[in-house]
Amino acid sequence: MRKGDLKKQIKILRFGLKEVYKLQPWVLPVTIFHSLFESVSPFINIYMSALIIDELLGNKNIHNLKMLVGITILLNLGIHLISTALEHLKGLLIEIVYENQDMKLSEKIANMDYEYVENLEVHKLRTKIKEAQNMNGAGIPLIIQEMGRFIKGLITVITSTFLVIDLFIPKITGGGIPFINSIWFSYVFLIVIFVGTLISLKLTSKAEKGLFKYFNKLMDLNRVWGFYGDMVSDYNVGKGVRLYNEIPIISDELKKFDKNSRKMFNQMGNMKAKYSAFDALISSLSSGMVYSFVALKAIAGAITIGSIVKYVGSINQFMTGSKEVLSSFNEIVNNNKYVELYYDFLNIKGEKHNGTLPVEKRNDDEYQIEFKNVSFKYPGSEIYVLKNVSMKLNIGERLAIVGMNGSGKTTFIKLLCRLYDPNEGEILLNGIDIKKYNYEEYMSLFSIVFQDFKLFSFSLGQNVAATTDYDEKSVVNVVEEVGLKERLNTMSKGVHTSLYKDFDEEGIEISGGEAQKIALARALYRDAPIMILDEPTAALDPISEFEIYSKFNEIVGTKTAFYISHRLSSCRFCDEIAVFHEGRIIQKGNHKNLIKDEEGKYYELWNSQARYYNEKESA
């Protein structure tokens, strides 16, 4: 390993250890103590057995034998109980590490600038962290396990060395094989054992590296399996699966998936079996060498019969411990690449400028918004989604934004809400660039319902208020205002009724239209001076949509409002309509004036939809 690579590995490991401490400060100390007791446990029987055998073959003192056996039992029992308790505690603490890590990653995403949330590379990075953790606990959790193995192996090596060191000290005996007691015989044995251990480690390392090569493929398989598992178990998907008889296609795809996964797992199994077989052969030969060496020492009169047990056991423990030290070190190095993913994710820096100006709190809601020559293209793209957009929205006005899919309508709203910042031009609030305002204060001006809104499996009140502490009366008022009074009356727990059944068996299932009305109620409850509806009523029929928008228009009162809709009939009440096309505003005006321009885009869009509605529906 090169010097630069070594420094990088140490840096990542230090970060990983610090992160483990932050996630759960007690997990590493408990792991160390658990490793200590786990490593010492085998030596109790090795050492005490040697003493018992020597006593049986020597003085045969019953009192001494009882004492040795009693000490052995007590030590084994004590260490076993402590080790078991520590193992249980360690397991609980590791679960806390998993939970805290997931929470930290979720908080990072929640606090991350939105442009990074939508970024494909950031999404891939988060997926890799999750898949690595799901596959074999790779990343931060694996540091705990491998550090435990490393410490256990290290203590085993130190303890076994202490117990066998005198075996390699030449002794003058009356035996007839003087060479066996020479230092050279010990050197030859140590060299053979060392070479055997290195070969065994190399084989294990090759097997582990081979398995890591399959990791990305395993992640893909795991992702596919998760997709099919979710699809089959999700009751919301069940209707379509049955109505379209999609079981055969799912079954066929699962068979292909199963065939490919079996092939890969067979390759992995064959590779692991090959290396395991060679490793077992080396281990067997090494064990044979140990028994031969110790037996010859006993024949030469250098050790007692009881010491045979001590030395054989200790040397085997030395080889096992050495292998565990080197193997765990290798795993830690391999695992660093997954710790680095976690490090990179946590160190994603938001580039959005957060201003310092407070937003003026006005009782009259006198807020004026202006777009000045705004152009924007998404990160990584050279195509402008908006180009030279200029518009001023006066206080209390209703602006409808219409246009075909991909014309830039939703992007316009994302820029207004500072989910992204313009590449060119500026957006002004009361004549000041919105980037100069404190972001949280600026966002408090808006009540927004996007077309891809999300409701949670919490109570209706919590979904409407977006908090656990809310004014129940206000929630009821806004729910009734959006047309859900009758539905609310059927809910056994009122606004405390849970939506869906994920967390509450008594939760209720709601329709798409009802979900959109709840999202509208959430916007009303916030009571911000600027209201934005980005096609939140797509699941409603045209008449219901028109009724919602008309009622919403009454509720908004003197507030400023933006409406985005594919259905032009729902926007006729607006003071001004902006027609977007290919990222530009190509027409502006009210419905009456725009419909007169028979060459304009608005006229084209209006007439393409008019055949779907009769005069009564569009009135």
Q: What is the mean pLDDT of residues 446-460?
A: 87
Domain interval for residue 611: 369-455+528-618
Residue 384: per-residue pLDDT: 92
Q: Give residue 615's pLDDT band: very low, low, confident or very high (50, 70, 90).
A: very low
| Nearest partner of 369 among 425, 416, 421, judged by Cα | 416
356-402 tens-digit pLDDT:
888 876 665 567 889 999 999 988 788 999 999 998 877 778 888 88
Strands 398-403 and 576-581: parallel
* Residue 505 belongs to a domain: no
Claim to verify: residue 387 and residue 259 sit in the same structural domain: no
Please count the CA atoms within 13 angstroms of the CA of 393 that sit on its side-chain side. 28
Q: Which of 51-60, 163-172, 339-348, 449-458 has the highest mean pLDDT?
A: 339-348
* CA 40/CA 155 separation, integer angstroms: 8
- What mean pLDDT do residues 598-606 have? 88
The count of domains in the chain is: 2
Q: What is the mean pLDDT of residues 62-90?
A: 91
Shared domain for 175 and 209, answered yes or no, is: yes
What's the pLDDT at 617? 45
Distances (CA, A) of 420 to 160, 367, 377, 412, 463: 62, 21, 10, 10, 26
What is the structure's pLDDT at 90? 94
Q: How confident is the model at residue 122 (pLDDT cuts 50, 70, 90)?
A: confident
Residues 23 and 84 in one domain: yes
In the listed set 331, 346, 361, which residue is the last one of a domain according to the structure? 346
Q: 507 in a domain, yes or no?
A: no
Shared-domain flag, residues 341 and 377: no
Are residues 155 and 285 part of one domain? Answer: yes
Across the range 521-531, mean pLDDT stands at 88
Q: According to the model, what pLDDT value does residue 475 have? A: 92
Q: What is the mean pLDDT of residues 239-262?
A: 70
Statement to judge: residues 245 and 393 lie in one domain: no
Among 315, 331, 346, the domain boundary falls at 346
Q: How confident is the model at residue 473 (pLDDT cuts 50, 70, 90)?
A: very high
Query: Is residue 204 pLDDT above 60, yes or no?
Result: yes
User: Is 520 part of any domain?
Assistant: no
- The confidence score (pLDDT) of residue 547 equals 67
pLDDT, tens digit, 9 for 90 and up, residues 289-335: 776 776 776 676 666 677 778 878 887 888 788 888 888 888 888 88
Q: How many residues does the chain have?
A: 619
- With respect to residue 496, please indicate whether it lies within any of the assigned structural domains: no
The pair phi, psi for residue 532, each rounded to 5°, is: -135, 125
What percent of the chain stands above pLDDT 90?
Answer: 22
In a domain, residue 237? The reply is: yes
State the Cα–Cα distance between residues 572 and 546, nearest whole angstrom. 9
Residue 206 has pLDDT above 60, yes or no: yes
Res 614: pLDDT: 46
306 and 200 within one domain = yes
Q: Which of these three, 346, 377, 404, is where a domain ends?
A: 346
SS3 assignment, position 573? coil
> Could you give the CA distance from residue 271 to residue 273 in angstroms, rounded to a whole number?
5
CA pair distance 454, 320, nearest whole angstrom: 54
pLDDT of 508 over the 60 cut: yes
Confidence of residue 78 (pLDDT cuts 50, 70, 90): very high
pLDDT reported for residue 459: 92
Three-state SS for 391? Answer: strand
Which has more confidence, 100 or 137? 100
Please give the Cα distance from 597 to 585 (Å, whole number): 15
Picking from 28, 146, 37, 150, the residue whose alpha carbon sits closest to that of residue 97 is 28
Q: Looking at the structure, tell me whether residues 380 and 284 fall in a common domain.
A: no
Whether 322 and 197 have beta carbons less than 8 Å apart is answered as: yes
Residue 119 to residue 114: CA distance in whole angstroms: 9
Within a domain: residue 354?
no
Share the mean pLDDT of the chain: 81
pLDDT of 1 higher than 70: no
pTM over 0.75: no
How confident is the model over 228-246, as a mean pLDDT?
A: 64
Q: Which is more confidently placed, 290 or 406? A: 406
In a domain, 467, yes or no: no
- Tell me, yes or no, whether 168 and 55 share the same domain: yes
CA Rg, the chain, in Å?
36
User: Which residues have CB under 8 Å from 281's CB, separation 6+?
Assistant: none
Name the more confident of 604 and 288.
604
Of residues 220 and 440, more confidence is placed in: 440
Strand order in the sheet with 560-564: 446-449, 530-534, 560-564, 398-403, 576-581, 584-589
Cα–Cα separations (whole angstroms), residue 190 to 154, 173, 199, 283, 551: 18, 22, 14, 15, 89
CATH code at position 188: 1.20.1560.10
Q: What is the CATH number of the domain that holds 451?
A: 3.40.50.300
Question: Same domain for 423 and 572?
Answer: yes
Q: Residues 4-47: pLDDT tens digits?
A: 678 888 899 999 999 999 999 999 999 999 999 999 999 888 88
